[in-house]
Structure 1
Amino acid sequence: MLSDKKYKCPLPSLWENNPTGLADRKANISSFGVLGAAFGSLLALVLSDRLGRLRSWQLFVILWGSGILMQIFSSRIIGFMLFARIWGGLGAGGLTVVAPLYLSEIAPAKSGGTVVSMYMVVLLLFLTIGFFINYAVKSTMPIDRTQYRLVQAIPLIPVGISFLCSFSLSDTPRWLASKDRNEEAIAVLTRLRSSNAADDPSLSHEYRDIQDQIRSRQQNLGEASFLTIVKEIAASSSYRKRFILGAVMQTVAQWSGGNGITYYIPEIFTYAGITGSNTSLITSGVYGVVKLIFTMLFTWGLVDIIGRRRCMLTGITLQCITHIYMSIYMSVFRTQTPSPNKSASDAAIASVFIYAVGWSIGLCTVQYLYGTEIYPTRIRSVCYATNMALHWFFQFAVVRVTPNMFVQLDIYGAYVFWALVCAVGFAVLGVPMERMEELFSGRWWMGWNARIFNNAIL
């Protein structure tokens, strides 16, 4: 925990009479890492093709790890800490692009989606572990530099091990083939499948598919530059509407409260009635477990059983309902004296967990599926790059403003805003994926006719 350079007391105690100043300081520390990630994700889209998936991954791990090291020794030096957060964020953002790309290209076609979805599950698993590490450290250690540095240093252990192990790996067959390194590509594919091209016809067939996809992509893109594709998106009605749909998805996903709540979940549980900082931290860990479990259910079951659209709309509905209740609780029951209503407080705590369910089965994951399904090959890379940029820049904005929203809007106002975003998102994104072509083929307002929109909510 940060402290002023002249004192050994926690950061909040230095701002007791200046809640806005405390909100600004916390928001800057939390959000600057996300700001770095926004630029890192764009950098990854350039480097992953030039350096390869594996070397890009190693580079971003070095950036992220060096940022963590700088943070470890930046206690009481706020400017250095903010720089370290941005520097490490470059690596973190790049990893969110390169890691799923690497996994998708080494996985067999029939299990590619499952392998890539493991990435999100592992992220949430370590996020959950992080909540419990914070609890253990806060419960057993005094608030000082050692406590802060230990919490910062722990993530370097698994990442350092994986970095060293990465030198025993090879780049993906697809990237190697795209660089005309065909012999290496075949050797890597043979090793990945534990098979031999001479004895296994399926391996030869898979490699031919890889080459066909590379040729198809090259023919589709031709010599078109990034700027040329952007102009085509602006000029084509279908491309333009698809682009806008993806942008709206990222906007709703980030501004509906998901990451704002996750980043500040201990404070939110305190607002909901959890007493004691240790209890708030352990409850935050349980919140992480709930998100992990329902993300796994979505990834390995719900998305195929009830479909993406129904999962998304169900999730948005749960988010909206819980935001409405929390706005009522924060404005009416939390301020009651001498103490808040116990039943209302218990319901508020429960609603936070219900919100976690809605976020996990809806916008948390569906936003990524949209980006892979609504764009034709020619515009996919440009639209994906833009989507990732919006994802991180909006996440930065949300994380940056959430503490100030709590102060300036008296907490409940933030929930009113998030509920309105969910309501608008439900209406705008309620068009079924399989009816996208029908939607894009006509005027924009035809998306609201009863036949399409009614089907979207059935």
Structure 2
Amino acid sequence: MFDINPYYVFTVLVVACGGIPKGYDEGGFSASIGLKSFQNDFDLNASHWKNNASGLANRKANITSFGVLGAAFGSILALALADRLGRLRCWQFFVALWASGILMQLFSSGILGFMLFARIWGGLGAGGLTVVAPLYLSEVAPAKSRGMIVSFFINYAASVTMSVTATQYRLVQAIPLIPVGIAFIGSLFLNDTPRWLASKDRSDEALIVLARLRGAREKQDHQLSSEYQEIQEQIIAKQQSLANVPIWTIIKEIATISTYRERFLLAIFMQTVAQWSGGNGITYYIPQIFEYAGVTGGNTSLITSGAYGIVKLVFTMIFTWGLIDIFGRRRCMLTGIGLQCITHVYMAIYMSIFVSTENKSASDAAIASVFIYAVGWSIGLCTVQYLYGTEIFPTRIRSVCYAANMAVHWFFQFAVVRVTPNMFVSFDVWGAYVFWALICFIGFVILGVWAPETKGIPMERMEELFAGRWWMGWRAKVDLTETPSGGKIQDQRNEKEFTTDIERF
């Protein structure tokens, strides 16, 4: 094992800051629209919309969701640019894109159209970073890394210490420019990943960078040489697998080879349930959710929202960084969906019966259920579907499937964030919780029978795990004591057979 060195730590910290834009958009910006100063500038005061609740919901939803819409296209753009520009230059490009969007957002000065354009523009950068930053980290780290930041408390500080002027919300929204700007300056001292450099036939440079990351003093270091040789072999294998293969051929393989199709549809279904089960709808409007649950006072709501963010952060870190490999993917996912469903059911009952009765016990239980929901979301569909997406696909189709998964993720997240305020108006809040509860119940049943346990299964043997009927996935197992008879061999056979069929056609 290589010793961790300052350059490696510096690299990880700099690149991981690429997660701040998305995390802050869900936390800091989403809460900032609740500040009185922002509401005054963009006409979001409820008193101005007494006879048009839907109009107010539409305006709030557009401002919040357009950043997510931009992120959807940004993630697709990143997949097109990452190999061409390199991981580092692509990271810097998307940071600049996001920062310029934030600056436009800060000085939109109540102009709704300009704010919406700035949200989409900045969203392009935030979405691109969600693809490039993990890609960079996965190529420089011996083990996977993950990070998350949620910042409701900044909004609270601004709300109690600053006057209700445009400067108040501008400061709140500008805060993430500081760490990301510092990270951008730091990136000027970094190199691109050894894997990307090697893929561009820059072998000497790749080896030097790898030695720098691992703290190896000499390029002849045995462990360094072994890791570099493994990188070269993986690149050669990927190039051979994808040589002269048009993307439409890969798409046809996914559609016509049953095992590819099943895995692809499973990953898409997981993303669908994750987005429509209420996770991001609640996160983006969490101050409003706590007010519905009985938390009174704007500042108190922000404090509670900050606590909600901490609960999400802690449980996501605990399960992502260890327990998910102890309990398994299935158990974490189903437990999480189950907790989501139960809390949705209670909130639906509370919103339909107790919300106007001033029943403190019912209100306290509603507040507690929101935090329980955060735990369920964090240990389940906040993370598991991404892990499945990196494990179950063979190299040949992985990039295409990953692109499709991220596109579904972002477009559905945009849809959820966009319609949630309208759902609260049209369905009287409790109806929204009924909808989310139904999605969780359906997801629990279908994923319970479909999704196999992938913990500890080598990627080259995933074919065996998906060899049976899809509804028997809950029983699927791979005997790791036996020599693989399917797995990679079968995947390669499928690839060759389909390629031959295409050529004949």
TM-score over 0.5 for the pair: yes
Question: Are the structure 2 counterparts of residues 247 and 183 from structure 1 closer, same or farther at C-alpha, using a change threshold of 3 Å?
Answer: same
What SS does the aligned partner of 2:109 have?
coil
2:131 maps to: 97
Whether the 8 Å contact between 1:3 and 1:76 is mirrored in structure 2 is no
The one-letter amino acid paired with 1:331 is S
Paired amino acid for 1:2? F
Does the 8 Å contact 1:10/1:143 carry over to 2?
no
Q: 1:14 to 1:166 in 2, by over 3 A?
A: same
Displacement of 1:12: 3.2
1:389 and 2:407 are equivalent in the alignment: yes
Distance 2:46 2:225 in 1: 62
Paired position in structure 2 for 1:378: 396
Q: Identity over aligned residues, as a percent?
A: 72
Cα 1:452–1:207 change in 2 (3 A) is: closer
CA gap 1:441/1:432 in 2 versus in 1, 3 angstroms: closer
**Within the alignment, does 1:272 sit opposite 2:287 as a pair?**
no
Q: 1:132 to 1:192 in 2, by over 3 A?
A: same
* 1:254 maps onto 2:275 in alignment: yes
1:17 to 13, 38, 51: 51
Deviations 1:228-253 (A, max 9, x none): 11111111111111110010010011
Match of 1:56? 90
Instruction: Provide the residue aligned with 2:427 in structure 1.
Output: 409
What are the within-5 Å matches in structure 2 for residues 119-268 of structure 1? 119=147, 123=148, 126-127=149-150, 130-268=151-289
Code of the aligned partner of 2:467: S
> Aligned partners of 1:106, 1:287: CA distance in 2, in Å?
32
Matching of residue 358 in structure 1 with residue 394 in structure 2: no
Partner residue, 2:453: 433
Q: How many residues align?
A: 433
Whether the 8 Å CA contact 2:211–2:219 is kept in 1: the answer is: no
For residues 417 and 28 of structure 1, the distance between their equivalents in structure 2, rounded to whole angstroms, comes to 21
1:78 aligns with 2:112: yes
Partner of 2:76: 42
Q: Distance in 2 between matches of 1:40 and 1:445?
A: 35
TM-aligned CA deviation for residue 103 of structure 1: 0.6
Kept after mapping to 2: 8 A contact 1:60/1:94: yes
Deviation (angstroms), 1:302: 1.3
Q: Name stretches of at least 5 consecutive residues in structure 1 with no aligned partner.
A: 454-458
TM-superposition CA deviations, 1:327-366 (whole Å, max 9, x none)? 0000010032xxx211000000000000000011111011
CA drift at 1:439:
6.5
Distance 1:377 1:136 in 2: 48
Q: Secondary structure at the match of 2:169?
A: helix
- For residues 440 and 117 of structure 2, the distance between their equivalents in structure 1, rounded to whole angstroms, comes to 34
Q: CA deviation at 1:437?
A: 4.5
Distance 2:161 2:189 in 1: 39
TM-score (norm 1): 0.91
One-letter amino acid of the counterpart of residue 432, structure 1: P
**Counterpart-to-counterpart distance in 2, 1:445 and 1:326:** 31
The one-letter amino acid paired with 1:308 is R
After TM superposition, which residue ranges in structure 1, 4 or more long, deviate above 6 angstroms?
A: none
How far residue 292 of structure 1 moved from its aligned partner, in angstroms, is 1.0
* Post-superposition offset of 1:98: 0.3
Deviation digits for residues 120-166 of structure 1, max 9, x if unmatched?
xxx2xx31xx2000011111222221112111211111111100110
Is 1:27 aligned to residue 53 of structure 2?
no
CA contact 2:254–2:261 (8 Å) conserved in 1: yes
Deviates more, 1:436-445 or 1:289-298: 436-445
2:319 corresponds to 1:283:
no
Residue 319 of structure 1: aligned partner: 340
- State yes or no: 1:422 paired with 2:440: yes
After TM superposition, the structure 1 stretch with the greater mean CA deviation from structure 2, 156-165 or 220-229, is 220-229
Provide the C-alpha distance between the structure 1 equivalents of 2:79 and 2:326, rounded to a whole number of angstroms: 33
Instruction: Provide closer, same or farther for how the CA distance between residues 278 and 317 of structure 1 changes in structure 2, counting only shifts above 3 A.
Output: same
Q: Is the 8 A contact 2:44 2:56 kept in 1?
A: no
Distance of 2:327 and 2:453 partners within structure 1: 13
Instruction: Say whether 1:295 aligns with 2:331.
Output: no
Q: What value does the CA root-mean-square deviation take over the aligned residues? A: 1.7
Return the alpha-carbon distance in structure 1 between the equivalents of residues 188 and 160 of structure 2. 38
Please give the secondary structure, in 2, of the residue aligned with 1:224.
Answer: coil
Residue type of the partner of 2:380?
Answer: G
CA deviation string 1:13-57 (max 9, x = no partner): 322332111110110000000000000000000111000000000
Q: Distance in 1 between matches of 2:402 and 2:219?
A: 38
Q: 1:205 to 1:268 in 2, by over 3 A?
A: same
Residue of structure 1 in register with 2:492 after alignment: none
Alignment correspondent of 1:456? none
CA contact (8 A) 1:243 1:383 kept: yes
